[in-house]
Amino acid sequence: MNILVVDDQPDIRCMLTALLEEEADYVVATAANGREALDYLRQSDDLPGLILLDIAMPIMTGWDFLHEQQNDAAIASIPVILMTARGHFENAGLDANAAAYIHKPTELTTLLAVIKQHSESSGVRG
């Protein structure tokens, strides 16, 4: 399965990419903010099966990305797992149509379990 990791911190993008590719054999693409992620998705011929999305980012936040994604029929069906380093998700997260919510930092086993659970329930194979 292909996964798009969207996070403004280069170290987190690099770490998640390495872990997902090495530990779980996923193909990973990255974006530094919601705008970059939308541009990637709209230009890609091979859409990811899942998006890991940070909430707090410059240029375009995770919330703004979700709003844009849900209004674009070509990419609206891609499941999103929201990630935040904040202690809790804002109320907006409850209505965000996210597949799951993860607090950062998280254990690799937890992250992989959430990805696997979602991919099995949605029929995505990775």
Tens of pLDDT, residue by residue over 52-93, are 999 888 999 888 999 999 999 999 999 999 888 765 555 444
pTM listed for this prediction: 0.86
| CATH topology for the 2-118 domain | Rossmann fold (3.40.50)
Domain residue extents for the chain: 2-118
State the Cα–Cα distance between residues 19 and 73, nearest whole angstrom: 31
pLDDT digits (tens, 9 = 90+) for 59-69: 998 889 999 99
Mean pLDDT of 11-39: 93
| Token pair of 77 as six digits | 């069906």
> Which phi-psi region, left, alpha or beta, contains residue 20 (left: φ > 0; alpha: ψ -120 to 50)?
alpha
Query: Which tokens hold the place of 4?
Result: 């798009």
β-sheet with 2-6: strand ranges across: 27-31, 2-6, 50-54, 80-84, 100-103
- Give the angle 5-72-104 at the CA atoms, nearest 5°: 25
Give which of 56, 53, 55 is closest to 40, Cα–Cα.
Answer: 53
CA distances from 91 to 24, 47, 95 (A): 32, 29, 8
Q: What is the pLDDT of residue 125?
A: 41
